[in-house]
Amino acid sequence: MVYLFIVLSFILGVIAIAYLRRLDLYEKEPFGKMLAVTVLGGAIAVILALFLYAVQKQIIVLDLQSAIGAMFIIGPVEEFGKLAGLLLTLFIYKKELNEPVDGLLYMSCVALGFSLIENLFYALPGPETHALILTRYFISTPAHIFFSAIMGLAFWGQRKGLFGPMALIFAFIVASFMHGLYDLVLFYPVISLLFFPLMYFYYRFMKNLISFTLARSPFYVSLFEWIDNSESVIEPGDTCLNCSDLSDRATYRLGKIRVQYCEKCNHYLTHLSGLKHVFRYFGCILGRLPSRFSIRHSKKAHQYGTLYDHNLIDWKTKNTAFDLIPFDKDLTRLRMNRLERINSTWWYRTFFHSKTPAPKRVVQ
């Protein structure tokens, strides 16, 4: 049974790494290196945390399942272990650390490895605890990643000489506080109703950090730049929603994105599912669009809706058409909004922003 849970944890870990890797839109990290950091970094973090817990017991006898234990022992000890795991595995991914999101991803790998090993400690004592491994995988494992993400951003910036040492110190304090608050809510049933709002807040914070780091990537190109610099192939044309033309036309591909150019009316065509990836890749939007940008049905036509101005959607065929220049400007505004969400925060301006160069703007 022990070996079964070890294998199960490994499989769940591989799935989680694959998901994290999907978030790296512009330059994928090597899967093997992410796996190595998960295993080695997680093991280092657990060993160091256990050592620090042993030292703490020799210095002070304290109930860890208390407010003081959660906020001042568990949070700092485990986050310090994870940060050490990130630092001590630098030799594995040093050459890959070339964009901000990389710091978050490798920090997430260490947190993932730490959580998977910790899950085994909870699940192995007996049959009555075996259900814990799945419960903790879907709750505690994401939580550990959420706690530590900001340390990945600070570590990347410090390695690149963009942030001062206070950025990493502040990030460690924030991660420790988030971790301690999470445990505090679990320890006291009277405030347990705060658990899901807290997890939602942590999830949103993590998502904003990922969008921010993607928007800062040196490998980012705008939709206009991609089309202008990519080679196209001639393929059978989809019906143009703007002029109804069906001619064969130039087609551009990037992953799940497929865009066709209509020479007759100068519009670009893509499927609705592809449009979602356009927003993800060129607008740095993870998840749903903000409500003010959502698709709304047009009263002027029975089958068409509008997505911003200049764009059409056929709800039956799921085809869309857009005017490139205005649409590219909309995507650029979305990207800049992702940057501003973090750049405008007091903590980023205070601890991170002083040495950060201005983000690249697309000039057309």
Its pTM stands at 0.89
Asked whether residue 357 carries a pLDDT value surpassing 60, the answer given is no
Among residues 350, 19, 348, the alpha carbon closest in space to that of 205 is found at 348
Nearest alpha-carbon partner for 327 in 335, 317, 319, 339: 335
Average pLDDT over residues 210-227: 96
What pLDDT is recorded for position 2?
60
Residue extents of the structural domains in the chain: 2-215, 223-339
**% of the chain surpassing 90 pLDDT:** 65
**For residues 249 and 264, what is the distance between their CA atoms, to the nearest angstrom?**
10
Greater model confidence, 145 or 314: 145
The pLDDT assigned to 299 comes to 43
Please say if the pLDDT value at position 240 is more than 50: yes
DSSP string, 101-135: HHHHHHHHHHHHHHHHHHHHHHHSS-GGGTTHHHH
Q: How many other C-beta atoms can be found within 10 angstroms of the C-beta atom of residue 256?
A: 13
